[in-house]
Amino acid sequence: MKIHFLGTAAAEGFPNAFCRCEHCLKARKLGGKNIRTRSSAIIDDVIKFDYSPDSYMQALRDDIDLGAIEHLLVTHTHSDHFNAYDLECRRTGIAHELQHPLHIYGNDAVMYHTRVAIGRFAGERFAFHLLRPYETITVGDARVTPLLADHDSMETCLLYVIEKEGKKLLYGHDSGWFPEATWAWLKGKQVDCAILDCTHGYTGKSRDRNHMCIETVLEAQREFRKENILKEEGHIIVTHFSHNSKLLHDEFEDIFKPAGIVVAHDGLIVHI
């Protein structure tokens, strides 16, 4: 399974284009892995998580053929994760030589916003699929199970487990400490890779709500081991970093290296 990280920042990007804090100024000066766009990832070139406002630029930067994407798994409708109106660029007469519709999956809010934005183009170019937490579906040659996140009390935000060709991936953000029902579902699953939210730096809390911090990620790693959720040789990868963490890429790496946790950056490709 190939995982291609397109964006690894929280909602405001890193650096925040409007911000003059020392961390944003330093990120601009250093460049490289410190420049982070809004979060998204692609699995095996055909399954995409979320459609951020930076998707067009990310596709150009990483030479991504968005026309090859067959399935779009949306976690929630916050503006940094789902820019539904931009998908109109895929409609008939605007995008040519497409051989398949784009299947869009998500919660009730995702279906509503998608229908408002591009519902009139459904059929040949788009297909919509309403998901229910913990109900496994078939997505191409993969099995996908949406799980409940702890992120926004006004929306049923989702995490995803992808099972394909004997490998299992947990796409675990945006979320703070997982709801109990999600922990119960994950128990004993032995995933090969878990991608976790690390929006915040150090907060002094080991079970943060809405987003994870460094301490919560490390606590989640302990829970994974305790409940046999992650294979012994499995990987944890952290992403979705905010400039308010006050930490740059190398600093995150120094913090997580002793725990064997990988710090994602824009353009990172991992094979599991």
> Which residue in 180, 181, 184, 175 sits closest to 150, CA to CA?
175
Task: Give alpha helix (H) positions in 31-156.
Answer: 55-61, 108-118
CA distances 246 to 51, 53, 64, 252, Å, are 26, 24, 31, 10
Quote the tokens at residue 91.
Answer: 């409609």
Residue type, 29: K
Question: How far is residue 228 from each of residues 1, 53, 109, 134, 224, measured CA to CA in Å?
Answer: 21, 36, 33, 19, 6
Instruction: Phi first, then psi: give them for residue 98, nearest 5 degrees.
Output: -90, 140
What is the rounded CA–CA span in Å between residue 49 and residue 105?
10
Partners of 187 in the β-ladder: none
Residues 144, 128: Cα–Cα separation, whole Å: 15
Residue-level pLDDT at 124? 82
Phi, psi of 175, deg, nearest 5: -170, 150
Rounded alpha-carbon distances, angstroms, from residue 209 to 196, 246, 255? 13, 19, 21
Sorted by where each begins, the domain ranges of the chain are 2-271
Helix (H) / strand (E) element for 86: namely none
pLDDT of residue 230: 98
Name every residue whose Cβ is closer than 8 Å to that of residue 15 and which is 6 or more positions away in sequence: 23, 24, 25, 27, 28, 34, 35, 243
Cα separation, 187 vs 178, whole angstroms: 12
At 202 the pLDDT is: 97
User: H helices then E strands: how many in the chain?
Assistant: 6, 14
Q: Which CATH number fits domain 2-271: 3.40.30.10, 3.30.470.30, 3.60.15.10, 4.10.520.10?
A: 3.60.15.10
The DSSP result for 172-225, as a single string, is E-S-SSPPHHHHHHHTT--EEEEEEE--SS--S-SS-SSS--HHHHHHHHHHHH
Closest CA to 160 of 128, 134, 126: 134
Give the model's pLDDT for residue 123.
86
SS3 label, residue 154: coil
* Stretches in the chain below the pLDDT threshold 70: none
